[in-house]
């Protein structure tokens, strides 16, 4: 089975690396296309046996599964170009929360789905979020699910929860990185530690933290309680976080959902132009 990736930006590259490095798909069975072809050809420096295609039409002629890894408006445009090129035995997949499998089904005569990746998939870890509709066969659904299992934990999410799930799975690494960077910067500002040492200590801590969470008996709450000895220093430091962090995270979800609703409105407008 041949896989196609249209768009080799951040998430397109994440999926390319995850598919190949996990050995889910041999690079000889992967075809990529990017509007700026030079970016696509750069991928051959790492994966010399994958195929570069010049056009979207060629992608439809070569691939059984096509991942649309572009911006939402471009996904609609590309899907429209594929309309008369794909058949019902092929699968076209959106990787953005604002374009659902149903949205693609309005434009395409083939099977459709949505797969939202995470940068953690490059490490053969983390979650992939999947949504399906009636267009996809059980065989194709099983194949997509089993492929994702080789580099992630696939989870099927409802349309209602796709945005919040994406905030945690896909946006989460950026949010966590910001918090850790802020903690390091504060440590450098308030103490004599240098930035390089602080970064090294934090990276080591997070790696160990993630390993602990692999234990079924360990939870976020239990880890916090193990560190927060009653009357100890951790509890005093926690008071600073409790004053500011909760409000910030409530704002995170308000802003991401507002942006999501705005994008969904635009998607509906773009779909109306083509249907």
Q: In sequence order, what DSSP letters do the residues of 7-57 get, joined into one string?
A: --SHHHHHHHHHHHHTTSS-GGGEEEE-SSHHHHHHGGGT-TTSEE-SSHH
54 and 16, same domain (yes or no) = yes
For residue 114, which phi and psi values (nearest 5 degrees)? -130, 135
**Alpha carbons 200 and 50: distance in angstroms, whole number:** 36
How many alpha carbons fall within 13 Å on the CB side of residue 230? 0
Let me know if residue 231 belongs to a domain: no
**What is the spatial distance between Cα 118 and Cα 73, in angstroms, rounded to a whole number?**
21
Residues 62 and 24 occupy one common structural domain: yes
Alpha helices in 213-232 (DSSP H): 220-227
Cα 35 to Cα 110: distance, rounded to the nearest angstrom: 23
Q: Are residues 65 and 130 in the same domain?
A: yes
Domain edge (last residue) among 166, 198, 229: 166
**What is the reported pLDDT for 229?**
83
Position 271 in a domain = no
Within this chain, do residues 111 and 209 fall inside the same structural domain, yes or no?
A: no
How confident is the model at residue 91, as a pLDDT? 98
Tell me the sheet residues that pair with 111.
91
Inside any domain, residue 177: yes
DSSP 8-state symbol, 97: T
Per-residue pLDDT of the chain (275 residues; tens, 9 = 90+): 999 999 999 999 999 999 999 999 999 999 999 999 999 999 999 999 999 999 999 999 999 999 999 999 899 999 999 999 999 999 999 999 999 999 999 999 999 999 999 999 999 999 999 999 999 999 999 999 999 999 999 999 999 999 999 999 999 999 999 999 999 999 999 999 999 999 999 999 999 999 999 888 899 999 999 998 878 999 999 998 998 899 999 999 999 999 999 999 999 998 888 76
**Do residues 82 and 143 share a domain?**
yes
* pLDDT value for 18: 98
Instruction: List phi, psi (to 5°) of 30.
Output: -115, 130
Q: Is residue 84 part of a domain?
A: yes
State the residue range of the domain holding 107: 3-166
The pair of three-digit structure tokens given for residue 198, joined into one six-digit string = 């602080």
The conformation of residue 6, written as its DSSP 8-state character, comes to: E
Give pLDDT, residue 51. Answer: 97
Looking at the fold, whether 40 and 55 belong to one and the same domain comes out as yes
Question: What is the per-residue pLDDT for 120?
Answer: 97
In terms of domains, do 179 and 157 share one? no
Q: Does residue 76 lie in a domain region?
A: yes
**DSSP assignments along 130-192, one per residue:** EEE-TTS-HHHHHHHHHHHHTTSEEEE--TTTHHHHHHHHTSHHHHHHHHHHHHHHHHHHHSS
Total-model pTM: 0.93
Residue 113 and residue 48 share a domain:
yes
Write down the pLDDT at residue 275.
Answer: 67
Kindly state whether residues 97 and 194 are assigned to the same domain: no
Q: How many domains, in total, are found in the chain?
A: 2
Alpha carbons 68 and 93: distance in angstroms, whole number: 6
Is 237 within the bounds of a domain?
A: no
Q: pLDDT tens for residues 55-100? A: 999 999 999 999 999 999 899 999 999 999 999 999 999 999 999 9
What is the reported pLDDT for 126? 96
Report yes or no on 248 lying in a domain. no
Q: Could you tell me if 60 and 153 lie in one domain? A: yes
State which H helix or E strand residue 253 sits in.
helix 233-274
Examine the domain organization and report whether 207 and 110 are in the same domain: no
CATH of the domain at 117: 3.40.50.720
Q: How far apart are the first and last CA of the chain?
A: 31
Inside any domain, residue 141? yes
Residues 193 and 114 grouped into a single domain: no
Residues in a beta bridge with 31: 4, 51
Q: What is residue 160's predicted lDDT score, i.e. its pLDDT?
A: 95
């Amino acid at each position: 089975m041949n896989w196609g990736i249209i768009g080799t930006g951040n998430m397109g590259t994440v999926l390319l690396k995850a598919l190949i490095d996990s050995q889910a798909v041999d690079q000889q069975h992967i075809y990529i296309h990017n509007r700026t072809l030079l970016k696509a050809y750069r991928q051959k420096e790492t994966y010399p046996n994958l195929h570069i295609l010049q056009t979207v039409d060629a992608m439809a002629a070569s691939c059984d599964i096509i991942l649309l890894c572009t911006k939402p408006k471009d996904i609609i445009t590309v899907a429209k170009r594929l309309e008369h090129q794909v058949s019902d035995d092929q699968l076209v997949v959106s990787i953005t929360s604002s374009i659902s499998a149903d949205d693609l089904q309005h434009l395409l005569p083939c099977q459709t789905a949505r797969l939202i990746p995470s940068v953690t998939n490059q490490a053969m870890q983390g979650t992939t979020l999947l949504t399906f509709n009636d267009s996809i066969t059980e065989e194709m659904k099983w194949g997509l699910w089993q492929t994702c299992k080789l580099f992630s934990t696939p989870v099927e999410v409802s349309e209602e929860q796709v945005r919040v799930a994406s905030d945690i799975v896909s946006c989460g690494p950026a949010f966590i990185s910001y918090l850790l960077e802020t903690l390091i910067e504060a440590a450098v500002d308030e103490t004599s530690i240098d930035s390089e040492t602080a970064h090294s200590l934090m990276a080591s801590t997070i790696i160990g933290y993630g390993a602990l969470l692999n234990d079924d008996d360990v939870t976020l709450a239990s880890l916090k309680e193990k560190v927060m000895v009653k009357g100890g220093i951790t509890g005093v430091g926690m008071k600073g976080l409790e004053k500011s962090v909760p409000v910030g995270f409530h704002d995170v979800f308000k802003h991401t959902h507002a942006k999501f609703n705005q994008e969904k409105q635009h998607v509906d407008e773009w779909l109306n132009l083509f249907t």
